Structure 1
Amino acid sequence: MRRWLLGPDGALGARLTAATLAAAILMVPFMLLLVLVKSAFTPLNRFDQGVAADLHSYALSNPGFARAMEFITNALAPETWRVLVGAAAVYTLLRGAPRLAIWAITTVAAGGLIGLAVKIAVERARPMLPDPVSWAPGWSFPSGHALNAALGAVTLVLLLLPVLHGVWRAVAWTLAALASVTVAFTRVALGVHWVSDVVAGLILALAVVAATAAGFEAWRRRMGRRPVEPYIEGVEPEMAAPKATGEPR
C-alpha cells in the first residue's frame, strides 16, 4: 500500500482526487447561492438590490462610465471567448493534439449548456431599474457573460501554459482573472445582472474547468503519460515540444 501511494499511480490518484474535490468544493458556494436565490433570501436580495441601485445611479450620472462598461461587455461577450477558444483548438489540431482540442471545445460548450440549464431551472428575473442604461434578454441566474468569460479565459491559460515560462505564467493567470472579474463587474454596472448572478457564473466556470481537467488528466495517465499539475504546466505540457508524427496527443 505504501509503495502504491508513493508511486506514479498513487501520485495520479492524489492529483485526480484533489481536482475532483476542488470541483466539488467550488460547487458548494454555487449551490448555496442557487438555494438562496431560489428561496428569495431577504439579506441576499437586499445586498443585490443595494449594489444595483448604487451602480445604476453612478452610471446615470456618468455616461462615459456606462459607455465604457458597454464597450467592454460587448468586446468580451461569450461569442468572443468561443472564437478565441475555437482558434486555440485549431492550433492544437495543427500541433497534432486533437484530444486537447476536443477537451477545450467540450469544456466551453459543456459549461455554457450547464449555465443555460440552470437559468431555465431557476428563472430569476433581471434587475428592473428606472432609466436603464442597458438591456439583456433571458433569465438572470447565473450570468452567462461571467460564466463564459471565466470558462474561456481559464481554458486558454491551461492551453497556453506549456509554452509560457517563469513570470509569464503568473501574468497569464492574472490577465485571466482580471478579464473574468471585469466582465462580471460590467454586467452589474450596466444593471442587467445582480451581484450573486455574476459570482455564481464565475464559480460554476471554475468548477466545470476543474472537472474536465481532472478527466483529461485521467486519460493522460491511462495513455502512460506522466502526471501533471494543470494549473502550473497546463493540461498538456507536451504541446511545448515540436509536433509529433506518431499517436495523436
Structure 2
Amino acid sequence: MHTSSVDSPPRPSAHRAAARAAGVLALCSTLLLVLVAARWSPLIDFDGDVSRTTHRWAVEERGVTQTFRILTDWVWDPWTMRILCAVVVVWLVWRRADWWTAGWLAAACALGTLVQQGLKAAVGRARPVWPDPVDTAHYAAFPSGHAMTAVVVCGLLLWLLRRHGVGRALWTTAVTVAVVSVVGVGLTRVWLGVHWTTDVVGGWLLGALTVALAVLAQLRWRPVNSPLAPTRTGDHPG
C-alpha cells in the first residue's frame, strides 16, 4: 500500500485555500483600485494606448464590432447573467428544497452588484470618449460591471456544480463556457471603447474576490444536513 511521505506537507483544506485566494485577490484588487484612483501615469498611458488601438480596429472592422455588440448587450449582459442566477435559485428551491444554497447564491450575486455600483460611484472614473463612438454605456467606468458580473455568476455556478459532483463532460463544458464568457465579455468592452483595460481587469479581480468570499461563507456556515454539504472524506462529493 502506498503511503505519503512524512516529510510532505498536508494538503490544505478547501477552507484554507479559499481564504488564501481571497487574501491574494483582495491585495491585488486594492492595489489596482489605488493606482486607478490616483491616476498613476504609467497605468493611464497603458490604458490609453490599448484603447486607441482597439477603437481603431472597431471602426475598421464593422462586422466584428456588430457581433461584439450583440454578445455584450444580450448574451453577456449583466442582466442576462443575473437572470441565469435567478433561474438557478428557483431551481434549487423547487427541485432540491435547498433554501440555504438558494439564499447564499442570491446574496452573493447581490453583494457583487452592490460592490460594483459602490465602487463606480466612489472612484468616478470617466469612460473613454471618442469622436466616432461605436457603442455607448452609462455610469462610471471602474470597475467593469459586465466583467465583474460574469465572473461572479460563472464562478458561483461552477462552485455549485463542483460540489454537486457532476460528470466530467458536463464539468468540462461548463468550464469552457465560463472561460469564454468571462474573457469574451472583457474583450468586447475594451473593443467597443466603453471601458479601459484596467476597468475590465478590476472587474475580474473584484468578481473573483466576491466568489472567494462567498465560498468561504459557504464552507463555514453551511448546515451539515443540506443537500450540497461537503462530505467528511474530501473537499467535494463524487
| TM-score above 0.5 | yes
TM superposition shift of 1:221: 6.5
Could you tell me how far 1:72 is from its partner in structure 2? Answer: 0.4
Identity score, percent: 34
Tell me which residue corresponds to 2:99. Answer: 98
Structure 1 residues 72-87: aligned runs within 5 Å: 72-75=71-74, 76-87=76-87
- Report the Cα offset of residue 141 of structure 1: 0.3
Paired with 1:154 and 1:15, the residues of 2 have a C-alpha distance of: 15
Find the counterpart in structure 2 of residue 53 from structure 1.
52
Partner of 1:89: 89
Counterparts of 1:65-214 in structure 2, within 5 Å, are 65-75=64-74, 76-94=76-94, 95-161=96-162, 162=164, 164-214=166-216
Match of 1:17 in 2: 16
Query: Could you tell me how far apart the structure 2 residues matched to 1:26 and 1:225 are?
Result: 24
Q: Name whichever of 217-226 and 160-169 sits farther off.
A: 217-226
Which secondary structure does the structure 1 equivalent of 2:133 belong to? coil
Unaligned runs of 5+ in 2: 1-9
In structure 2, what is the Cα distance between the partners aligned to 1:24 and 1:170? 27
Question: What is the one-letter code of the residue matched to 1:50?
Answer: D
TM-score (norm 2): 0.87
Q: Secondary structure at the match of 2:136?
A: coil
For residues 16-75 of structure 1, the C-alpha deviation after alignment (integer angstroms, 9 at most, x for no partner) is 222112111111111111111111111111111111111110111111111011000011
Q: Shift of residue 167 of structure 1?
A: 4.0
Distance of 2:65 and 2:52 partners within structure 1: 14
Measured in 1, the distance between the counterparts of 2:150 and 2:171 equals 19
Q: Which structure dedicates a bigger proportion of its chain to helix? A: 1
Distance 2:175 2:220 in 1: 23
Deviation, 1:214, is 1.1
In structure 1, distance between residues paired with 2:159 and 2:184: 20
Q: Which amino acid aligns with 2:122?
A: A
Deviations 1:164-187 (A, max 9, x none): 212432331222111011011111
Determine the C-alpha separation between the residues in 2 that align with 1:192 and 1:27: 25
Q: Would you say the 8 A contact 2:100–2:222 is kept in 1?
A: no
Give distance in 1, aligned partners of 2:14 and 2:211: 15
Q: In structure 2, how many angstroms separate the alpha carbons of the residues matched to 1:164 and 1:129?
A: 46
- C-alpha distance in structure 1 between counterparts of 2:150 and 2:14, whole Å: 26
Pair 1:225–1:170, CA change in 2 (3 A): closer
Q: Is the CA contact (8 Å cut-off) linking 1:136 and 1:192 kept in structure 2?
A: yes
Partner of residue 226 from structure 1, selected from 223, 228, 231 = 231
Quick one: distance in 2 between partners of 1:85 and 1:38?
A: 31
* Structural RMSD (CA): 2.1
Equivalent residues of 1:220, 1:226 under 8 A apart? no
- Which amino acid is 2:131 matched to? P
Equivalent position amino acid for 2:24 in 1:
I
User: Alpha-carbon deviation of 1:211?
Assistant: 0.7
Letter in 2 for 1:47: F
CA distance in 2, matches of 1:44, 1:202: 17
Secondary structure, counterpart of 1:82 in structure 2: helix
Greater shift in the superposed pair: 154-163 or 142-151: 154-163
Q: CA deviation at 1:222?
A: 5.9
